[in-house]
A and B are shown apart, each in its own frame.
Chain A
Amino acid sequence: MKTAADLKHGEKVIINCVNSKHPSAKRLLEVGFTPGQEIELVNRSTFNDPIAISIRGTVIALRRSDADCIIIA
């Protein structure tokens, strides 16, 4: 199962679903990471974590552990 944490720099994908068991799932859905939306990894911090993902016309920084609940394939 591929998640947003596995994205490469500049890679654009469509969100498949969000793992609702993950503690951050609710917040991520609320900020706009809903299935069907296109996301792109636009920046990575120096230690490759957190990452910055573009969604719905804005950019959101999140830890890889949070990005793990966004399933893309």
Chain B
Amino acid sequence: MIDNLTSDNLFITLVGPPNSGKTTLFNYFSGKNYKTVNYPGATVDSAVANLQKKFNINASLMDSPGIISLNPETDDEKIAVNYLYKHPKLGKPDLVIVTVDSSQLSRHLYLAKQIINSKFNVIIALTMVDILEQKGFEINEDKLSEIIGCKTFKVDGRSGRGIDNLLSYINDNKISFKEETILNNHSANNNTDDVLLLYKEIEKIEDECLVEIEDKKNINLKRANKQLNLVTNKFEKKKCNQIDARTVKIDKVLLHNTWGLVFFFLIMSFTFTSIFWFAQPIMNFVSYIFQNLADEALNLAGNNWFGMLLSNGIINGVGSVVVFVPQIMILFLILGILEDSGYLARGAMLIDKPLSKIGLNGKSFVPMLSGFACAIPAMMAARTIPNRRERLLTIFILPLLSCSARLPVYTLLLAFLFPGNKAWIAGIVLAAIYLFSILSSILAAAIINKLNNKVIKAQDNSSFILELPAYRRPEVKVVAINMWHSGKLYLQKAGPIILVLSICIWFFTSFPNIDPKVNTDNISQEQVNELKDSERLATSYAADFGKIIQPVMTPLGLDWRVGVALISAFTAREVFVSSMALIFKVTDSRGSLMESMLDAMKNSKIGNTEKKLFTPSSIIGIIIFFMFALQCLSTIAISRKETGSWRIPILQLIIFSGLAYFLSFVAVNGLRILGLS
């Protein structure tokens, strides 16, 4: 990503307070699509990209997490400050672009001034000018540039307005940015008096540069006020410090003293039920297409090993996972709307008190919500939690939340439990599974919190200070791009693994006895095929391996075939579905891929007996297993990275996977005792 590091290559760093529009600008410059969210603390890692060719400037650009000042408190802020002074690869920046939200002038200039005082080459990018205009004010850029001591530009990273000026200024001054400067590392204010002094200075600057947009009425009003002298100043200040009127109105409802939490739970429940209901029709369609493709492939290639590899190994294996892309995209669509609206910070505020009772923090809410998408970004999002203990505890419980990779597994199993006209129940049960994953994670946190210092050591002051950004109508473009990318990412992440694993599993379940000899007397061609399929599997490499794991599976009412699927799911949970499709040989076409898979499951028996393999109790057992087991190697790796040692990931692996097996065992056998087969 970082190439052509020649001497005329500029290294530009974007810095600014949270939610000031850094990532929006970064995306505009680089043509990339990093996530922009209406929540302070959405970017938790730095990213580097080259400036797009069309801008004709040879430069690398860095985006960074938002910081309030040069004194970092959380891990994401530490990254931002350290990388500002010295990027591990690119070193010291030639130029720092500080984003300043114009509607938050004094609060945001505070950081800008600190950075200027540190002797960086600075340009200020004034964002959100439109919002300030709505309040009836504008900034006198020239005056601001003059007083604060660096060039300032009004920009809008969403439309690109004003960015040309900024770029041509950079282009004109390339050479002077390259000159060696000596940074002043200590200008970060170290005591509270310094903070006050700096704010005094900033307030003066604000007073001089913020001007009311004058329409006719205002001019008259101003003239009248001028004669009353002092009044003008006070009047102006009050008005520009007013908070967004619409936001106040919405918060009267959503942050209502008693109803706030009720709305919170309603919004969350709606989110999870709708994933299932909206996606169902699209999924049926995709599933139908893949089944036809697989049939066609088998017809064209013939019933030989190549045809089987193509239709069973590749098309069905991959198809069984692609089917779930619509669902993943809808999950991200709804999360995206929530993120862009500004509600997330309110959610964090509402849930802070309950979460603090179990050793978490209101700021655990956003990582937990992202945990429903994937535990990996979720664990990184936990960087915004200042208190180390609360942060580690949040990371600890994240694997319990129902990530999107589990969605295909649950959907398949629930479709088995609630077929045909009972499908609507599946939607409700899915919501219940999500709710239960929240409950179990909370319970886990509470228990570990009680164990106190044994697992995670207690540490310093716990606090919750979070800006509530103004509400905004979610932008179609932002939300749609976000949805599109998460669909793509899901395929990119899962695709290659699934392709490789599908072929592996196909190989191990088909060889060495690819063309078994069976007694073909007096039976139809269809029966011959079925017999061959089962004979081939029974004498395969996978079956040899299966005999070893059979004893572990028997207590759960399952056999080695499900065992193989479960083990393959340790690479990525979705693989469970494709493995099932392969092992239970979904070749004959009866409508869609999903339908023939469910048929194959219905007809499978345990070993040589007549006992059905998949019964309500054994399916519930598998669901429970997936709810708890830590089956994802990438999660273990990121947990190691974010917590700084192997202690927590190993504990997570042992506790959650052990619990999964134990609870699944209890559920299956409990249900059987109660009479549910």
User: For chain A, what secondary structure do more than half of its interface residues adopt (helix, strand, loop), or is it mixed?
Assistant: mixed
Q: Which residue of chain A has its CB nearest to the CB of B107?
A: A32
Contacts of A44 in B (CB 8 A): 255, 257
Q: Say how far B54's CB is from chain A's closest CB, in angstroms.
A: 36
Once A42-B248, A46-B350, A52-B468 are accepted as A-B contacts, the answer to whether A23 and B71 lie under 8 Å apart by CB is: no
B353 in contact with A50 (CB, 8 Å):
yes
Which candidate, B8-16, B239-247, B274-282, B666-674, is the interface stretch facing chain A?
B239-247
> Smallest CB–CB gap between B465 and chain A, Å?
5
CB pair B463–A66 under 8 Å, yes or no, is yes
A-contacting residues, B234-265, CB 8 Å: 240-243, 247-248, 251, 255, 257-258, 260-261
Which of these, B241, B242, B466, contacts A61 with CB under 8 Å? B466
Shortest Cβ gap from B81 to chain A (Å):
13
Q: Across the interface, which residues of A come within 8 angstroms of B157, CB to CB?
A: none
Q: Which residues of B contact A45 (CB under 8 A)?
A: 255, 257, 260-261, 349-350, 352-353
Within 8 A of A (CB), among B336-368: 345, 348-350, 352-354, 356, 362
Q: Is the CB of B349 within 8 A of A61?
A: yes
Contact indicator B464/A59 (Cβ below 8 Å): no
A50 vs B73: C-alpha distance in the bound complex, in angstroms?
A: 20
Residues of A within 8 A of B73 (CB): 27
**A7 is an interface residue with CB less than 8 A from chain B:** no
Task: Using known A-B contacts A46-B260, A49-B353, A56-B107, determine if residue A63 contacts B463 with beta carbons closer than 8 Å.
Answer: yes
Which B47-104 residues have a C-beta within 8 angstroms of A?
Answer: 68-69, 71, 73, 103-104
Residues of B close to A56: CB separation below 8 A: 104, 106-107, 241
Asked if residues A30 and B68 are in contact (CB atoms below 8 Å), the reply is: yes
Of B192, B240, B242, B258, which contacts A18 at CB under 8 A? Answer: B192
Contact between chains at B110 and A63 (CB < 8 Å) = no
B103–chain A nearest beta-carbon distance, Å: 6
Give the A-B pair count, Cβ closer than 8 A.
127
Residue pair B68, A61 in contact (C-beta under 8 Å):
no
- Choice from A43, A46, A52, A65 contacting B261 with Cβ under 8 Å: A46
User: Hey, which chain B residues are within 8 Å of A42, CB to CB?
Assistant: 243, 248, 251
Expressed in whole angstroms, the Cα–Cα distance for A32 and B110 within the complex equals 9
Query: What separation, in Å, do the CA atoms of A58 and B261 have in the docked complex?
Result: 22
The answer to whether the Cβ of B195 comes within 8 Å of any Cβ in the partner chain is yes
B213 proximal to A (CB < 8 A): no
Q: Contacts of A47 on B, CB cut-off 8 Å?
A: 353-354
CB within 8 A of B242: which of A31, A43, A57? A57
A34-B196, A50-B349 as given contacts; A58 in contact with B104, CB under 8 Å: yes
Q: Would you call B255 and A62 a contact (CB within 8 A)? A: no
Q: Say whether, besides A29-B192, A43-B255, A59 and B468 are in contact (CB < 8 Å).
A: yes
Residues of the A chain whose Cβ atoms lie less than 8 Å from the Cβ of B195? 26, 29-30, 34
Q: Which of B71, B243, B354 contacts A54 (CB 8 A)?
A: B243
Inter-chain contact B103/A57, CB cutoff 8 Å: yes
Residues 100-134 of B, flagged 1 when their CB comes within 8 A of A and 0 if not, give 00011011001000000000000000000000000
Chain B: minimal CB distance from A52 (Å)? 6
Number of B residues whose C-beta is below 8 Å from A? 44
The reply to whether the CB of B467 lies closer than 8 angstroms to some CB of chain A is yes
Q: Is the beta-carbon distance between B199 and A34 smaller than 8 angstroms?
A: yes
Q: Which residues of B contact A18 (CB under 8 A)?
A: 192
A28 close to B (CB within 8 Å): yes
> What separation, in Å, do the CA atoms of A35 and B469 have in the docked complex?
23
Residue of B nearest to A32 (CB): B107
Interface residues on A, range: 35 or more
* B460 touches A (CB below 8 Å): yes
Instruction: Among A24, A59, A63, A65, find the residue whose CB has the most chain B CB atoms closer than 10 A.
Output: A59
- Known: A34-B196, A42-B248, A43-B251. Contact between A63 and B468, CB under 8 A? no
Q: In this assembly, does B461 line the interface, its C-beta being within 8 Å of a C-beta of chain A? A: yes
By the criterion CB–CB under 8 Å, are A63 and B257 in contact?
Answer: no
Complex contact B107–A29 (CB within 8 A): no
In the complex, chain B residues whose CB is within 8 Å of the CB of A31: 68, 107, 465, 467
Chain B residues with CB under 8 Å of A54's CB are: 243
Q: Could you tell me if A52 and B349 are in contact, using CB atoms closer than 8 angstroms?
A: yes
Pick from A26, A34, A45 the residue with the most CB of B within 10 Å. A45
Query: Once the chains bind, are A32 and B465 in contact (CB under 8 Å)?
Result: no
Instruction: Please give the distance in Å from B420's CB to the nearest CB on chain A.
Output: 42
Chain B nearest CB, measured from A12 CB (Å): 11
Chain B, residue nearest A63 (CB): B464
A46/B465 in contact, CB under 8 A: no
B243 touches A58 (CB 8 A): yes
Whether A63 contacts B352 in the complex (CB less than 8 A), given A27-B68, A31-B68, A31-B467, comes out as yes
Residues of A within 8 A of B69 (CB): 30
Collect the chain A residues with CB atoms within 8 Å of residue B464's CB.
50, 61-63, 66
B460 pairs with A23, CB closer than 8 A: yes
B467 touches A23 (CB 8 A): no
How far, in whole Å, are A34 and B193 apart by their CA atoms in the complex?
10
Q: How far is the CA of A46 from the CA of B258 in the complex (A)?
A: 5
Residues B240 and A57 in contact, CB atoms below 8 Å apart: yes
Nearest A residue (CB) for B469: A58
Q: Which residue, A27, A50, A60, A62, has most C-beta atoms of chain B within 10 A?
A: A50
Chain A contacts for B468, CB-based, 8 A: 52, 58-61
9 CB < 8 A contacts A-B: A23-B461, A26-B192, A30-B195, A32-B106, A45-B257, A58-B243, A59-B247, A60-B467, A61-B362
Q: Which A residues fall within an 8 A CB radius of B? A: 9, 18, 20, 23-32, 34-35, 38, 42-50, 52, 54, 56-63, 65-66
Shortest 6 CB-CB distances between A and B: which pairs?
Answer: A23-B461, A61-B349, A43-B255, A46-B261, A47-B353, A57-B241
Given pairs A29-B199, A44-B257, 20 additional interface contacts (CB within 8 A): A20-B192, A24-B465, A26-B192, A29-B196, A30-B69, A34-B195, A42-B243, A42-B251, A43-B251, A45-B255, A45-B349, A46-B261, A49-B352, A49-B353, A56-B241, A58-B107, A58-B467, A60-B468, A61-B345, A63-B356
